[in-house]
Amino acid sequence: MKYIFIVQGEGRGHMTQAISLYHILTNNGHKVSHVFVGKSKRRELPAFFSDQIKSPITQLESPNFVTDKNNRSVNVFKTLTINLRKYRTFLRSINEIHRIVQSEQPDTIINFYDFLGGLYFLIKRPNIQHIALAHQFLLNHSEFEFPKGRFYDKASLRAGNKLSGYKADKILGLSFQCMKDEPGKKLFVVPPLLRDEIKKQKPTHGDHFLVYMVNHGYSEEVKVFHQKHPEVPIHCFWDKKDEPWELKVDETLTFHQLDDKKFIRLMSLCKGYLTTAGFESVCEAMYLGKPVLMVPVEGHYEQACNALDAKKAGAGTSSEIFDLEILLEYLPKHKDVGDDFRQWCQAASETFLKMLS
283 and 140 part of one domain: no
Cα of 64 vs its chain's centroid, Å: 14
202 and 274 part of one domain: yes
Residue 75: pLDDT band by 50, 70, 90 thresholds? low
What is the C-alpha to C-alpha distance for residues 138 and 290, in angstroms, rounded to an integer?
A: 24
225 and 256 part of one domain: yes
What is the C-alpha to C-alpha distance for residues 34 and 101, in angstroms, rounded to an integer?
A: 9
Domain total in the chain: 2
What is the C-alpha to C-alpha distance for residues 202 and 287, in angstroms, rounded to an integer?
A: 11
Using alpha carbons, select from 19, 18, 7 the residue that is nearest to residue 59. 7
Q: What is the average pLDDT score of the chain?
A: 91
List pLDDT tens digits, range 335-354: 999 999 999 999 999 999 99
Range of the domain at 242: 197-344
278 and 172 part of one domain: no
List pLDDT tens digits, range 179-191: 999 999 999 999 9
166 and 212 part of one domain: no
322 and 185 part of one domain: no
The single-letter code of the amino acid at 179 is M
Whether the predicted pLDDT of 297 surpasses 90 = no
CATH number at residue 14: 3.40.50.2000
Using alpha carbons, select from 298, 214, 256, 300 the residue that is nearest to residue 9. 214
List pLDDT tens digits, range 46-67: 888 999 999 999 999 888 766 6
350 and 337 part of one domain: no
Alpha carbon distance, N-terminus to C-terminus of the chain: 8
Mean pLDDT of 80-88: 79
Tell me the HSE value of 175 on the side-chain side, using a 13 A CA sphere: 25
To the question of pTM greater than 0.75 for the whole model, the response is yes
What is the C-alpha to C-alpha distance for residues 300 and 207, in angstroms, rounded to an integer?
A: 31
166 and 283 part of one domain: no
Using alpha carbons, select from 170, 192, 151, 155 the residue that is nearest to residue 281. 192
Mean pLDDT of 17-33: 97
84 and 158 part of one domain: yes
List pLDDT tens digits, range 121-134: 999 999 999 999 99
What is the C-alpha to C-alpha distance for residues 273 and 316, in angstroms, rounded to an integer?
A: 9
Q: What is the pLDDT of residue 190?
A: 98
112 and 187 part of one domain: yes
73 and 139 part of one domain: yes
Beta bridge partners of 172: 133, 188
Residue 87: pLDDT band by 50, 70, 90 thresholds? confident
113 and 168 part of one domain: yes
129-134: strand order across its sheet:
57-61, 31-39, 2-7, 108-112, 129-134, 170-174, 187-190
Mean pLDDT of 248-256: 96
What is the C-alpha to C-alpha distance for residues 1 and 6, in angstroms, rounded to an integer?
A: 17
What is the C-alpha to C-alpha distance for residues 268 and 271, in angstroms, rounded to an integer?
A: 9
Residue 209: pLDDT band by 50, 70, 90 thresholds? very high
